[in-house]
């Protein structure tokens, strides 16, 4: 059995231990020590990393009552080694995990939410509730989370006796066997958990609840705490400040400025659409083809504009009237109008010469075609 030093003190950074086993495995070695401060992967949290002497520990896993340390070099049995964990990473994980406990405990008390999932990595923290929550409810949880931080309440982890455990009301995401470790956060939460936590809520720092997504009738919430929350705030502030400078407003007035800008752009877009429609109507009125098949290429025309223009050309002059507009490099959107039988025959020939996606009926076909403008014009004998 490996003695879990992280259970005794989550702030142990260095320790000495004796090598009990060293087994070669694919990709390296797995080392069993008599005791360790390395937290193994578990409970939605990655393992600690660090060093045994000068050899890197890149993963730690618990199997039964044994904890294995994975390295790329071996150790001799019975050798005494010095372990050193990456405590900066460990403390970050402690901040995030303790923050999640507070948020989950408060959500449980306020809204009866059960935590049904938790994921902590170096990039993101998410936790899942079995019920939907509104943004207003999430904001309420966030306010109370930070109140708990400001109160600097105590956090203790312990293994209660069986009689004490039976009387204890605590959260747990699954049925547990054997000795159960309880993490108790004063005035906030009591939960079964195997991971290291901070000793005081004040060490967590700011707690921020960010993006959400629906998940199997419940909700997934992203969380950032401590230095992660500070970094996130700094990045968002800097982006908002830059946007404010571009819009010539204060950083906290950017939303209103963007709303005004969107309104102006919508009005201008409507004006441009109307002008394009009038221009196409004028072009259609002056359309006087010399052949029964024509093709025109328009700039920045959407499908509705292509449809309207091709229809006007056909109604004025008959024949086969095609209009194109660049969609992507080497690809054009198109609409072709004509007498149905004649158009069907023409379109079949068109598809045999080019890579075409699309179709239609009642005298109009539309879609996209891959090809060069000069080749398409050549096909129309232009």
Show me where the domains of the chain are located: 3-85, 90-232, 289-379
Helix (H, G, I), strand (E, B) or coil at 352: helix
pLDDT at 178 over 80: no
Share of the chain above pLDDT 90, in %: 93
> How does pLDDT run across 205-224, given as a tens digit for each residue?
999 999 999 998 999 999 99
Query: Which contacts of 224-233 are long-range, i.e. CB under 8 A and separated by 24 or more positions?
Result: 224/96, 224/125, 225/95, 225/96, 225/98, 225/99, 225/125, 226/92, 226/95, 226/96, 226/99, 227/92, 227/95, 228/92, 228/95, 228/96, 228/125, 229/205, 230/205, 230/206, 232/208, 233/206, 233/208
User: Please, what CATH class does the domain formed by 3-85 belong to?
Assistant: mainly beta
Give burial (CB, 10 Å; 0-12/13-18/19+) of 49: middle
- Please give the mean pLDDT across all residues of the chain: 95
Report which DSSP code applies to 200: B
Question: What fold, for 289-379?
Answer: Diaminopimelate Epimerase; Chain A, domain 1 (3.10.310)
| pTM listed for this prediction | 0.76
We find that the CATH architecture of domain 90-232 is 2-Layer Sandwich (3.30)
Q: Which of 232, 194, 196 is nearest to 86 (CA)?
A: 196
Compute the distance between CA of residue 112 and CA of residue 249 in angstroms, rounded to an integer.
43
Q: Are strands 35-36 and 28-33 parallel, antiparallel or unpaired?
A: unpaired
**Cβ atoms 380, 322 nearer than 8 A:** yes
Q: What is the pLDDT of residues 337-358, one digit of tens each?
A: 999 999 999 999 999 999 999 9
């Amino acid at each position: 059995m490996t003695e879990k030093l992280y259970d005794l003190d989550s702030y142990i950074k260095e320790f000495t231990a004796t090598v009990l086993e060293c087994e070669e495995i694919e990709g390296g070695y797995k080392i069993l020590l008599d005791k360790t401060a390395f937290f193994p992967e578990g409970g939605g949290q990655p393992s600690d990393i660090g060093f045994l002497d000068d050899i890197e520990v890149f993963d730690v896993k618990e199997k039964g009552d044994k904890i294995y340390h994975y390295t790329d070099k071996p150790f001799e049995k019975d050798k005494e080694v010095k372990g050193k964990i990456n405590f900066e990473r460990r403390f970050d994980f402690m901040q995030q995990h303790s923050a999640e406990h507070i948020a989950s405990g408060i959500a449980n008390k306020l809204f009866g939410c059960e935590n049904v999932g938790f994921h902590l990595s170096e990039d993101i923290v998410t936790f899942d509730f079995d019920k939907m929550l509104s943004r207003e409810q999430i904001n309420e949880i966030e306010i109370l989370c930070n109140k708990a931080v400001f109160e600097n309440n105590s956090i203790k982890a312990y293994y209660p006796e069986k009689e004490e455990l039976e009387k204890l009301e605590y959260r747990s995401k699954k049925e547990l066997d054997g000795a159960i470790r309880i993490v108790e956060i004063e005035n906030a939460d009591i939960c079964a958990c195997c991971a290291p936590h901070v000793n005081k809520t004040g060490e967590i720092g700011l707690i921020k609840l960010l993006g959400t997504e629906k998940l199997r009738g419940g909700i997934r919430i992203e969380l950032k705490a401590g230095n992660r929350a500070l970094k996130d705030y700094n990045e968002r502030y800097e982006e908002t400040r830059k946007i404010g400078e571009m819009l010539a407003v204060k950083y906290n007035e950017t939303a209103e400025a963007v709303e005004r800008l969107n309104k102006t752009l919508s009005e201008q877009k409507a004006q441009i659409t109307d002008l394009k429609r009038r221009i196409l109507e004028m072009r259609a009125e002056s359309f006087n083809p010399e052949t029964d098949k024509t093709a025109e290429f328009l700039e920045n025309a959407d499908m509705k504009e292509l449809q309207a223009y091709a229809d006007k050309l056909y109604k004025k002059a008959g024949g086969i009237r095609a209009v194109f507009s660049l969609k992507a490099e080497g690809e054009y959107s198109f609409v072709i109008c004509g007498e149905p039988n004649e158009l069907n025959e023409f379109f079949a020939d068109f598809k045999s010469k080019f890579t075409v996606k699309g179709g239609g009926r009642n005298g109009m076909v539309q879609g996209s075609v891959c090809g060069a403008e000069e080749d398409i014009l050549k096909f129309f004998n232009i």
